[in-house]
Amino acid sequence: MKTKPYKQDNSALGYNVGVTLDRFIKSHQSHFAYATGELSQLLRDIALAAKIVSREISRAGLSQVTGAYGNVNIQGEEQQKLDVVADIRFTRALTKGGEVCAVVSEEEDEVIDLHNSKGKYVVAIDPLDGSSNIDVNVSIGTIFSIYRRITPTGSPIQAEDILQKGTDQVAAGYVLYGSSTMLVYTTGMGVNGFTYERSLGEFFLSHSQMKTPQVGNIYTINEGLHRELDENIHSYLLQCKERGYTARYIGSLVADFHRNLLKGGIYLYPATKKNPQGKIRLLYEANALAFIAEQSGGLATDGKKRILDIVPSELHQRTPFYIGSESMVKDVSSFYLDL
């Protein structure tokens, strides 16, 4: 019988879908420092929870999960029902997966010890970021950081397992629930983005080896905070305007960060009079995005030092946050050099 080798021909398809997230994770597993497959499984657990949360969000208006939950979280912020739903979904996926020994969440007062004697990983998560946009159909996100536990598996969780520096992250990422749902992550070998194909129930590689422009023309800040900001930021913002930069602010960090990552720009959440340490949480928000920013060629600082070098002293620690295109972040830092 005559045979011929398989030759991929996409010309009749009109478009070419990328590799699935599952296959991508598997094919890159051997690159990890500890290539036993657990980190791969953990990333898949996160992707599964992301699909469930994406579904909950997309039908929120119909399924009575909009509105306030009636509780104020440890951050002093009113929890939305979807904040709680997302917290449950991610924590449950991480618990059932079996690779994680502890979860720290923006929505929980304390460390959740999963009492999993085999779990080698700790996850820090903001289950649903952009709370003020949840009920108004504006993009929101999930942010996660993954660390290896330091103390031996099977022993009680210690502070040193949780309070690790951003440079200790073994993987980090975010999910953006926008006009499409995307999962973007890094394991320290570049940044890859996957778009969710709802009808197939799969994430497909759509943004391979993402690189952020070295300079951009978007600045992203809540300018309503003007009276709360210091003189250095006033001067920097004036410079942005004099240079003709464009202002863009969604109020969902994931969405604002993602846009700037693709287009070039800077996101700023400085210290304010109300929040002298800034608003953005180091463990749940800043570290993961800083890792992704650096892996894509950008920078993240607190105005004076690199975010990833900050040694956390408490769970819900906040930090001033400047992240985005390298030259823009350096520029804003130069306004703080005299301090």
Residues forming contacts to ligand AHM in the complex (CB under 6 A) are 77, 106, 126, 129-132, 222, 251-253, 256, 279
Pairing relation of β-strands 112-113 and 100-105?
antiparallel
Closer to ligand AHM by CB, 39 or 53: give it.
Answer: 53
Nearer to ligand AHM, 130 or 312 (CB): 130
The least distance separating ligand AHM from the CB of residue 186, rounded to whole angstroms, comes to 20
The residues near 39 (Cβ < 8 Å, ≥ 6 apart) are 29, 32, 99, 121, 146, 170, 171, 187
Give dist(CA 182, CA 299) in Å, integer: 22
Rounded to a whole number of angstroms, the minimum distance from the CB of residue 266 to ligand AHM is: 13
Which residue's CB atom is positioned nearest to Mg ion?
Answer: 129
Smallest separation, CB 320 to ligand AHM (Å): 13
Q: Which amino acid is at 94?
A: L
Cβ nearer to ligand AHM, comparing 77 with 202: 77
The rounded distance, in Å, linking the Cα atoms of 327 and 51 is 35
* Interface residue list for Mg ion (CB under 5 A): 126, 129
Would you say 131 or 195 has its CB closer to ligand AHM? 131
Could you write out the DSSP letters of every residue in 128-180?
EE-GGGGGGT--EEEEEEEEE-SSPTTSPP-HHHHS--GGG-SEEEEEEESSS
Q: How far is the CB of 128 from ligand AHM (least distance, A)?
A: 7
**Least separation in angstroms between CB 253 and ligand AHM:** 3
Q: How far is the CB of 280 from Mg ion (least distance, A)?
A: 7
The entry of ligand AHM, Mg ion, none that residue 178 binds, CB within 5 to 8 Å by partner kind: none
Looking at the Cβ atoms of 129 and 294, the one nearer to Mg ion is 129
Nearer to Mg ion, 56 or 126 (CB): 126
Residue in 296, 316, 295, 294 with CA at minimum distance from that of residue 307: 294
- Rounded to whole angstroms, the Cα distance separating 142 from 126 reads 6
Q: Tokens 């300018």 map to which residue? A: 223
Q: Which of 183, 182, 186 is nearest to 209 (CA)?
A: 186
Closest approach of ligand AHM to the CB of residue 48, in Å: 22
| Cα 15 from chain centroid (whole Å) | 29
Instruction: State the minimum distance, in angstroms, from the CB of residue 219 to ligand AHM.
Output: 13
169 binds, among Mg ion, ligand AHM, none (CB under 5 to 8 A by kind): none
Nearest of 90, 87, 88, 80 to residue 60 by alpha carbon:
80
Which of ligand AHM, Mg ion, none lies near 77, with the C-beta cut-off 5 to 8 A by kind?
ligand AHM
CA dist 248 → 16, 114, 198 (Å): 32, 40, 28
Could you give the C-alpha distances from 147 to 27, 128, 256, in angstroms and in order? 21, 20, 25
- Cα atoms in the 13 Å half-sphere on the side-chain side of 63: 11
46 vs 286 by CB, closer to ligand AHM: 286
Nearer to ligand AHM among residue 19 and residue 138 (C-beta): 138
Q: Which residue has the tokens 């996409």?
A: 10
